[in-house]
Structure 1
Amino acid sequence: MENLNQTSVRRFILLGLTSVPGLKAVFFLVFLLMYVVTLSGNLLLIIAVRLNPRFHTPMYFFLCNLSFIDICFSTNITPKILENTLSKDTSITLLGCAIQLYFHLALGATECLILAAMAYDRYNAICKPLQYATIMNQNICVSLAVGCWTQCFSLSIIHVVFAFQLPFCKSNHVSHFFCEMPPILRLSCKDPWVNQVALYVCCAIFTLCTFFFIFLSYVHIFSKILKIRHNKGHHKAFSTCASHLTVVMLYYGTIIYMYLRPQSSYSPDRDRVVSVFYTVVSPMLNPIIYSVRNKDIKGTIQNKIQLIVYLL
């Protein structure tokens, strides 16, 4: 009898974004530009927060966590896209695939929890301003961040280990541009229903539950804002929350579509487009969204850039 625990393939072939030669050069330039913008934008935001004492608050602490996640998230995916776009050899080892999948799951789940922590911070700042300093003290913020990172990186190990216990004997061609759980599970010649159920449950917890928590937080926030009599107070409060809501809708919309829809609706071409949004586009846009609506961050970044240019 064939041992189903024996993995037949030793390398996966990533089919990438396109097989059209003319488009490969275009995709390479576009993704290289987006990667550079992602790194520079998030690094500048982190540096601006660290250098300006006015930004040493819970909101900017979690924002730095988000920027660091975006740097790691994009770095885990984009360099491999760039390499495979120009290379004839688009293979990846099982170990390399497992590592990429692990960091993808861990960082994606951590971002969900950090976004929820940011919503909790905004709720306390607007709805409980007198108790805010006590509720969101430094120890609480650090504990929340450490809890988010530890929990997500620990749980992701379980998913990856069990996924790579499956026998991959159908094919070694992954209809994707990186190792992501849904297309990997489809290559197994053993029914991966246990893995799929576990993935659905975890995704429901990390996406639907956190999204519902964020939604309830903003129901209370907007209820409080509408009670503010001064228009100036309205504008300031809405401006504070608008950036976070924009990031939440962009990220959660694509994640929920990718991981919580029926398997029967699988479409390789459409799934690749959706994955590009939350793996490449979202990490690039997040620092831009937060910076555009924040005059203090824009001013700090501009001053530092001008200082660097002057020194050069």
Structure 2
Amino acid sequence: MKCARLRRTGIATILLTAASSSFALNTATIVSSTLSPSCLEYRVVGICYWLFCTPFGCSVRTSTKVRHYIPDAVVSNYSNTGENPWLEVRAMSAPNVTAQAGGDGTTNHDNESNMAKFKNADVIGHPGGHVFGQFASTSGYACKGAGTAFMPYLLSTLDTVAWRYNVPEAVYPEALIPGMREIGARSTFNLWGTVYPRGGFLHQVDDYKAGAVVAQRAGDIVTRRGQLHVYQPLLANSQPGYWPAGALEESNALSGKWQELTPRLSNSCVVFPHSEPLTQAQQGDYAWALWRPYSCCERRGQTFFGSTDFN
């Protein structure tokens, strides 16, 4: 078992390294990125109990409860409208009459440190479901995620009022009160930005950090229902023996984590803020895979009695 796991890790590393040599982000690169044991984080976490009945009587059966992460979506953000770094889906977010241009606001001063940036954002279903399913199943029983491959869950070019004008989120308490819903902390001098207002504008000198904040905003929207945005919720419903991921929370790996796809392909996952190297994109375009935690157990009866989690 240990040798097999080492082989899988070696194969994943080779494929990820090979994919990272390509500058353009394409579907093949994204699919290969799912072979990440670090992001998968497969664990046996408990036992489930099922009532199994036949015409001859009933008995209680058990099954193993597992927990692992699933790459539900690719979250892209980019400065110039229509230039999603994921080439095959670029046409989904072409400029329209309400969403054009983009880029940074600047006074052209060399010493400028308060630059207004703008990023478009797209949340599209991760295309690596089949490959990931095969990879995850080698560890044991695997859960199903909420994402559908190539499904657009948020396209900021169709969410113009909220994304470009911050209506109505500019007047939300989270957007007006310092210290609420922040990525990082002022006390540690590591504040990357604020989650609210969840639009494309922010002030951040570092372009990578600006992209990360916008990605967190987009992920925050699609993992909640009833938001005043044009989007589709990226959520699954609970079922007996199945516990899907809930709302994404900043700096909380138990709600989701990020795998950088471009400008640098990473074989591990992080939360924002992080201490990993920050690779600046030449054209201001970034993409991350959003991995979300799911728990499930194999159905072994007609009625689910409950589960016991290990400490």
Settle same-fold status: TM greater than 0.5.
no
Tell me which interval the TM-score lies in, with the shorter structure as reference length. Answer: under 0.3
More helix by proportion, 1 or 2? Answer: 1
Q: TM-score, normalised by structure 2?
A: 0.24
